[in-house]
């Protein structure tokens, strides 16, 4: 059994590419129903088209409000038959009313160890704070920016001499592994959202799951 998913992306779509690669290798039980976004020239959409996946780009400037844009976008997502929405580098804040309609059925990846450093410039913030550790988080989406229950995290050490670019480059492969593992766990039913909490193998977790060396999720 495969889980129908839609992916939203605004840019290059490297996390989408990781999902597509895992699917092609037979390691991800999903069906890509739609890849959509807010930028018609996004490389993510070209990659999806090359894989025969339906795509959609809507221009926010043609809508009277953010809510109208989001309602139109998610009407297309719903029509595609997707049961899970994956935000993979999607750079728009989604209207709270629309988010509520997809409660427990939408996830996002964020390049920090949430709840640290919500929003932009996470690598800069980690370096400025002198953190010894940095990472990425996958979480269920709520109306709060980069809020919602955290499913899992991948961690890397911050090295002496690291810059924003070097930190970002070293974290990106871990982001990809984390995204694939999280979508896989949801597709297989081992991870779900219930009553505002993440459940793993039928039990609520007290802390975010961790990405182990094999690329699977494990209890912290």
Domains with residue ranges and CATH for the chain: 3-218 (3.40.50.170)
The whole-number average pLDDT for the span 44-48 is: 97
Using the predicted structure, report yes or no on whether residue 1 has a pLDDT greater than 90. no
SS3 of residue 60 by DSSP? helix
Using the predicted structure, report yes or no on whether residue 14 has a pLDDT greater than 90. yes
Q: Render pLDDT for 152-183 as a digit per residue (tens, 0 to 9).
A: 999 999 999 999 999 999 999 999 999 999 99
Element (H, E) at 44: helix 43-50
pLDDT band at 220 (very low <50, low <70, confident <90, very high): confident
User: How far, in Å, are 17, 135, 158, 185 from residue 21 at the CA level?
Assistant: 6, 22, 28, 16
Using the predicted structure, report yes or no on whether residue 2 has a pLDDT greater than 90. yes
Q: Is the peptide bond before 115 cis (omega within 30 degrees of 0)?
A: yes
From the list 23, 51, 103, 110, the catalytic residue is 110
Judge whether 110 counts as a catalytic residue: yes
Q: Render pLDDT for 95-107 as a digit per residue (tens, 0 to 9).
A: 999 999 999 999 9
Using the predicted structure, report yes or no on whether residue 49 has a pLDDT greater than 90. yes
pLDDT at residue 213, as a whole number: 86
The whole-number average pLDDT for the span 32-58 is: 97
């Amino acid at each position: 059994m495969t889980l129908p998913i839609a992916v939203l992306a605004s840019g290059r779509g490297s996390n989408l590419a990781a999902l597509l690669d895992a699917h092609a290798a037979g390691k991800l039980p999903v069906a890509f129903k739609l890849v959509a976004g807010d930028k018609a020239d996004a490389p993510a959409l070209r990659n999806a088209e090359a894989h025969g996946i339906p795509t959609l780009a809507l221009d926010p400037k043609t809508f009277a409000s953010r809510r109208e844009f989001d309602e139109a976008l998610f009407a297309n997502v719903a029509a595609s038959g997707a049961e899970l929405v994956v935000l993979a580098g999607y750079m728009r804040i989604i209207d709270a009313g629309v988010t509520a309609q997809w409660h427990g059925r939408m996830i996002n990846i964020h390049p920090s160890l949430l709840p640290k450093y919500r929003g932009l410039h996470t690598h800069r913030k980690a370096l400025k704070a002198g953190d010894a550790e940095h990472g990425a988080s996958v979480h269920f989406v709520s109306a709060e920016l980069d809020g919602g229950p955290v499913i899992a995290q991948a961690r890397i050490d911050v090295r002496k001499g690291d810059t924003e670019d070097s930190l970002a480059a070293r974290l990106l492969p871990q982001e990809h592994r984390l995204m694939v593992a999280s979508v896989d766990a949801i597709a297989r039913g081992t991870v779900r959202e219930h009553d505002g909490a993440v459940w793993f193998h039928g039990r609520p977790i007290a802390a975010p799951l961790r990405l182990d060396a094999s690329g699977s999720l494990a209890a912290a």
